[in-house]
Structure 1
């Protein structure tokens, strides 16, 4: 069976079931697990699915030329590592905020079995958690089609009504000199409101974003309580952040 035929069957299966693991797809297509893994890497790079540990999940809500899906497909192993660490911080019964970041989105498969409440402005997060044990609270307001998220004044007023045990937010850049930065004001406003309404704030940030500055500098390092990054973060960078008083899990 050639790649195009496998591609059609893989996409059909993931779309129908919402998710599928490697062995399941290998049995269905009567091919090896190694071949399926290679296929999933190619499909994720094209923004057609997103990779999870052991399989793939749908990104059917990530439209607009699959821009959001493409972001989730960047550094998937690093993001999944970060999300495993983040999921271990969540207790049964917790109320948590999750923003619309691509790394935060990948937290979904690691928490879907937990009896918790998630307050989120991310449409893909809602889609992935609807069939799980999680109670979902979708923030109201205007939909940002590109980010597949809800932003704006009404969204912030919605979030201000709730108190959470923990907030999990993403960031486009972070540096010791300039703090947190974003590519736009909408994401920054959401992150600050979620942090303000939470007892603990976790910044989920893969190591490629450390010591980078983006368009808008919006908050100091004190906005969050814990930085969760991956094992690829340079030792000297991790040491510098710890010396500056930042709590790091990696």
Structure 2
């Protein structure tokens, strides 16, 4: 099999399955281990895939972001699992920030702490927060039509005025090389500003977000640590050890 054909076969196999081990690729292509290792190295250099411990995963970069209503219907069970873990972090008398997004929306239902103050840039979060009797502050700014999130300079300036015990951030992608990413640069700035104002940072991310890269980086502030909250399904990924080497992860039975 010529090199170009092997590349095509490897890429198509990875499109069908998000992660393949070296042994799986050898078996599926009928090529030697040395050949597959060489092909994976070349494809990684081209930015097409990412080699991880024991295998490879296809890299994706996207500017597109679905509407919030579409995201709320995806991976619902996982998001609720993660939401319960996140909600349990909230303690009585906390002042917290809850980011816009479908996963963070789910956590509101499970918060049982008393006398908390919640700041949010998620318009959809306001009603359920008020129904639970929480003091709620909505961040002003430009509202994105697809995510119903407040963004822009006004949102950032408002968030800078506060200090949070805990910050809960939604994220579109997490990648071993690129880190945390989101499609919109304005939302990335809002997330980073909130994290800078938080004593403890939690990032809610379900299994579908792993090994995905979006347009804008979201940098964890210097001298701060973020805990990734995820699902049991995500912890079953074959490459989860590599992610644990890069990020602090909690979820499922961990």
User: Fold-level match, TM-score > 0.5?
Assistant: yes
Native 8 Å contact 1:226 1:249 kept in 2: no
Q: Shift of residue 152 of structure 1?
A: 0.5
Written as runs of structure 1 = structure 2, the 5 A alignment for 1:144-183 is 144-183=144-183
In structure 2, distance between residues paired with 1:135 and 1:120: 11
Distance 1:206 1:224, change over 3 A: farther
Map 1:93-242 onto structure 2 (within 5 A). Answer: 93-111=93-111, 114-219=114-219, 224-233=225-234, 234-242=236-244
In structure 2, the residue corresponding to 1:97 is in which secondary structure? strand
Change (3 A) 1:203 1:224: farther
Structure 1 window deviating more from structure 2 (77-86 vs 138-147): it is 138-147
In structure 1, the residue matched to 2:245 is: 243
Check whether the contact 1:165–1:200 (CA below 8 A) recurs between aligned residues: yes
Secondary structure of 2:214's counterpart equals coil
Residues 36-66 of structure 1: per-residue CA shift (max 9 Å, x gap): xxxxxxxxxxxxxxxxxxxxxxxxxxxxxx9
Q: Give the 3 Å change call, closer, same or farther, for CA 221–141 of structure 1 in structure 2.
A: closer
- 2:44 alignment partner in structure 1: none
* CA deviation after TM superposition for structure 1 residue 144, in Å: 1.9
| TM-score normalised to structure 2 length | 0.68
Q: Greater CA radius of gyration, 1 or 2?
A: 2
Distance 1:221 1:104, change over 3 A: same
Runs of 5+ unmatched residues, structure 2: 1-65
Deviation readout 1:80-107 (Å, 9 max, x if unpaired): 0000011111101111111112111111
> In 2, Cα distance between the equivalents of 1:114 and 1:158?
24
Two-structure CA RMSD over aligned residues (Å): 2.0
Over 3 Å counting, the alpha-carbon distance change for 1:175 and 1:221 in structure 2 is farther
Alpha-carbon shift at residue 224 of structure 1 (Å): 4.8
Asked if the contact 2:121/2:138 (under 8 Å) is kept, the reply is yes
User: How far apart, in 2, do the equivalents of 1:96 and 1:197 lie?
Assistant: 10
User: Retained in 1: the 8 A contact 2:182–2:216?
Assistant: yes
C-alpha distance in 2 between matches for 1:125 and 1:191? 16
How far the C-alpha of 1:190 sits from its partner, in A, is 1.1
* Count of residue correspondences: 185
